[in-house]
């Protein structure tokens, strides 16, 4: 039981660390585009891991949690871009810059999130 709690804590801290690192690099958008895409894959992997450890060993549940969190994140970015006052607030408070979204970029982000989750499931099934 303690090992599960410790593993959850480590995965949660990795998620927070990855988010903070993305915020730090957000001002350099185009230069680190590759990293932001890699982050989507890693975040899908980490959220799948956290879901698996916390809620369920059911792969469908893991996939659904990753899809839900991915869609919510993309929706959040859309809303933050759509409302200029919110975008300015985020820039001032967190120094986080959100680039304009395109359909292709959003679709790629969702695919990468899902790919990270599938990679976790494959690894977990091999090493379980």
Residue 100: is it exposed, middle or buried by C-beta count within 10 angstroms (0-12/13-18/19+)?
exposed
Q: Is residue 71 within 8 Å of residue 110, measured between CB atoms? A: yes
Cα end-to-end span (Å), the chain: 17
Tell me how far apart the alpha carbons of residues 21 and 39 are, in angstroms, rounded to a whole number.
10
Q: What are the pLDDT tens digits along the chain (128 aa)? A: 788 889 999 999 999 999 999 888 887 777 888 888 999 999 999 999 999 999 877 899 999 999 999 999 999 989 988 888 888 888 888 878 887 788 999 999 999 999 999 999 999 999 87
The DSSP letter of residue 69 is H
pLDDT for position 71? 97
pLDDT for position 57? 76
pLDDT for position 25? 85
Tell me how far apart the alpha carbons of residues 42 and 69 are, in angstroms, rounded to a whole number.
13
CA distances from 95 to 38, 58, 90, 108, 111 (A): 21, 38, 7, 25, 27
């Amino acid at each position: 039981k303690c090992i599960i709690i410790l593993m959850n804590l480590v995965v949660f801290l990795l998620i927070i660390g990855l988010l903070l690192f993305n915020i730090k690099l957000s001002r350099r958008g185009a230069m680190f585009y590759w990293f932001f895409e890699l982050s989507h894959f890693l975040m899908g992997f980490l959220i799948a891991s956290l879901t698996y450890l916390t809620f369920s060993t059911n792969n469908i549940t893991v996939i659904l949690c990753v899809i839900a969190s991915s869609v919510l994140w993309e929706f959040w970015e859309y809303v933050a871009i759509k409302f200029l006052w919110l975008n300015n607030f985020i820039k001032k408070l967190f120094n986080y810059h959100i680039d304009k979204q395109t359909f292709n970029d959003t679709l790629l982000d969702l695919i990468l999130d899902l790919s990270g989750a599938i990679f976790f499931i494959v690894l977990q099934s091999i090493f379980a």
